[in-house]
Homo-oligomer: A and B are copies of this chain.
Amino acid sequence: MLIKAEKLKAIFAPRSVAVVGATARPQSLGRAVFANLLYAGYGGCAYPVNPGVKSVLGVRAYGSILDIPDDVDLAVIVVPAAAVCDTLEEAGRKGCRGSIVISAGFKEMGGEGVELECRLQEVARRHGIAVVGPNCFGVINTDPAVSLNATFSRSFPAAGRIAFVSQSGALGVAALEHAAQEKIGFSKFISIGNKADINENHVLAALADDEATDVILLYLEDLEDPKEFIDLARKVSEKKPILAVKSGRTKEGAKAAASHTGALAGSDETYDLLFTQCGVLRVETLEELFRLGMAFTHRPLPRGKRLAIVTNAGGPGIMATDAAVRHGLELARLDPATEARMRPHMSPAASLGNPVDLVGDADEARYREALAAVLGDDGVDEVIVIVVPQMNTDLGAMSRVIADAAGGTDKPLFAVYMATGDIERPLRLLDEAGILHYRFPEDAARALGAMAHYVRWRKRPHAGLRLFDDVRPDVVREILAGAAREGRKFLPEPEAHAVLGAYGLPVSRSRFVRDWSEAAAAAREIGFPVVLKIVSPDIVHKVDVGGVRLGLNSEEEVRSAYAELTAQVAAAQPDARIWGVFVQEMVGRGKETILGMKRDPHFGPLLMFGLGGIYVEVFRDVIFRLAPIRELDARNMIRGIRGAKLLKGFRGEPPSDMDAIADALLRLSQLVTDFAEIEEMDINPLIVLPEGHGARVVDARILIRK
């Protein structure tokens, strides 16, 4: 992982590049790539490789990469798919550290292409070359000392603080063109294509400490290794924001994604969880990705979410307010001193609350006073200044005033010029001063809202992953091994309770018995009332076969219930192997909750929490997290269900023991992380008693991998 990230750095900043397949033939990829490399002012040595020609675009060409009389760091390969592996073989022998395979015709084609990609991986591994692609659009580094354009893009982006990683080559093309038009600058661009070798995780690791990059934008269709991504992204997000478009959001989209890259995509809700848990901001559209990406290059980031709006028109002020609240900001309460400071300079019609409406005839001098006042207010974290040009608006002067105000503060000050006519010069003045500007107030509010959200995420309590040391993995291991030996997929209740008990989950008092006299003795020991449940490796739904008796109050009742129970089950399912009966304490009144786990083949264990019964069945009032979870995740799961009120003590009831739920969730998380054999489990119900009295696992089902 780290080795590849290191090699990737060499790909981003090679001292010498060979373009294999370079040619001067018009309209060819080989020409486009070599021309881009040459004309972008690359700082190292560029060598065209093409056995048929003497030179390409004026540069001496070589018949093979092996003929180049110099070290070659990076081999860019633009030859037909069938020739790629041999070329990469030569690059390996030449000692290249990295390669970008632009050629298509691999996994994305299916059939032979898949085999070809396997061969390519084998060659890369053997020579220790880091390979970007195949089927990719290439790599760009705008660092003036490097100035690498190893793509077939028609435009070379301006230098900037954004790194953009695209799984789709076509979207990469479109994105670069869009960015050029919107004057968005990049630090680095990489199209990872089929991800035969280098994937998004390597790129993230390489960009984490890239000093030229302040924000990372991802366009993804799937994740190569979701678990690694979570760990990595969580760490990288602490340093710099990550924004992502993950397409294939809908089932239909995912189907299209699968046929496109041959990737097996996980379910989309799971991606939402994953991004949330590691602080990645997921957005819906490319336009939004770039707009927000630009905003996130603003430094420093805002301290909080208290927004002030300065405008010369009421309507846009209202729209900004609506959008701000929608995106999680709040309107700052201005200090009375702030208003007093503005008042002498303002028209009597001006409304100096927040939004500060300077009214239509406000000139730049009034804006100057208003901006100084709100930026100086300690209760303000960020400012949107809106200008609707009117008769006496001088937008050039306005830009200078805004630039001055921004120069004297470290709070974000975003501008909205609601005009599109002859405003190039005023906008250029803002650009030069590094001030972000928007055409509509909603966009500015959206951007600041996302920034404030990120800052809040970064400030969250950082609970490390807490591991319980009072657990007995040896006990669990033995039970699972036993079941595996017998080829069972389902753990009967005594085993399930033993597994949960071994990890400290609050199982109810119980004993597994084999006849009625043992049952009576167990009941006496446990204390009345008790419950009897049939135990059989063949019966998953006990109630359906009459395999449960509740509320038995004496040894007498236990004995006769035992006889009835076994007889009834034998009648209902004659071929079931009956192991015996589970005698269990009858848990007092509490709230029924459900804890569950399902292992996703792609993402690992998904934990679920909810209220039991109709709340889960009708209202689907449940919440998911990917394991392993932290203390804060567990608390957020409990708080996050809609019915959380019912646990807090509704209508004079005592509050439920939420600590006990959190403890159970964390122990469950540790259990399913430790044992990959556990495929699926339901603790239904976990009865939660009033505060201080804990909770009890009443019924548990565990399915294991055969």
Q: Which residues of A contact B (CB under 8 A)?
A: 27-29, 32, 104, 108-109, 152, 154-155, 166-171, 173-174, 177-178, 180-181, 219, 221, 245, 247-253, 256-257, 259-261, 284-287, 312-319, 321-326, 330-331, 349, 351, 353, 355, 357, 360, 388-392, 418-421, 439-440, 442-443, 614, 617-619, 621, 642-643, 645-646, 650-651
A250 touches B322 (CB 8 A): yes
A418 to B388, CA, bound (A): 31
* Pairs A–B under 8 Å by Cβ, sample size 18: A29-B391, A155-B421, A168-B314, A170-B315, A171-B388, A178-B439, A219-B315, A221-B318, A247-B319, A250-B321, A250-B322, A252-B321, A259-B314, A260-B317, A285-B442, A285-B443, A287-B439, A619-B619
B170 touches A316 (CB 8 A): yes
A247 touches B318 (CB 8 A): yes
A259 to B260, CA, bound (A): 54
B323 touches A285 (CB 8 A): yes
A221 touches B315 (CB 8 A): yes
Given contacts A27-B392, A180-B420, A286-B440, contact A318 B614 (CB under 8 A): no
Give the contacting residue for A260; candidates B285, B287, B315, B419; CB below 8 A.
B315
A316 touches B171 (CB 8 A): yes
Q: Chain B residues with Cβ under 8 A from A245's Cβ?
A: 319
A318 touches B177 (CB 8 A): no
Q: Chain B residues with Cβ under 8 A from A317's Cβ?
A: 256, 260
A391 to B312, CA, bound (A): 48
B316 touches A174 (CB 8 A): yes
A252 touches B170 (CB 8 A): no
Give the contacting residue for A177; candidates B29, B353, B421; CB below 8 A.
B421
Q: Chain B residues with Cβ under 8 A from A285's Cβ?
A: 319, 323, 440, 442-443
A257 touches B27 (CB 8 A): no
A313 touches B180 (CB 8 A): no
Q: Chain B residues with Cβ under 8 A from A152's Cβ?
A: 391
B256 touches A318 (CB 8 A): yes
Q: Chain B residues with Cβ under 8 A from A261's Cβ?
A: 314
B314 touches A252 (CB 8 A): no
Q: Closest B residue to A618 by CB, please name it.
A: B645
B388 touches A170 (CB 8 A): yes
Taking the nearest CB of chain B, how far is it from the CB of A158, in angstroms? 14
Q: Closest B residue to A180 by CB, please name it.
A: B420
Q: Closest B residue to A615 by CB, please name it.
A: B619
A142 to B325, CA, bound (A): 37
Taking the nearest CB of chain B, how far is it from the CB of A249, in angstroms? 4
Q: Closest B residue to A177 by CB, please name it.
A: B420
A419 to B154, CA, bound (A): 10
* Extra inter-chain contacts (19) besides given A109-B349, A259-B351, CB under 8 Å: A27-B392, A108-B314, A170-B314, A173-B389, A173-B390, A173-B418, A173-B419, A174-B419, A177-B420, A247-B315, A250-B325, A252-B324, A252-B330, A253-B325, A256-B321, A285-B442, A287-B440, A618-B643, A619-B642
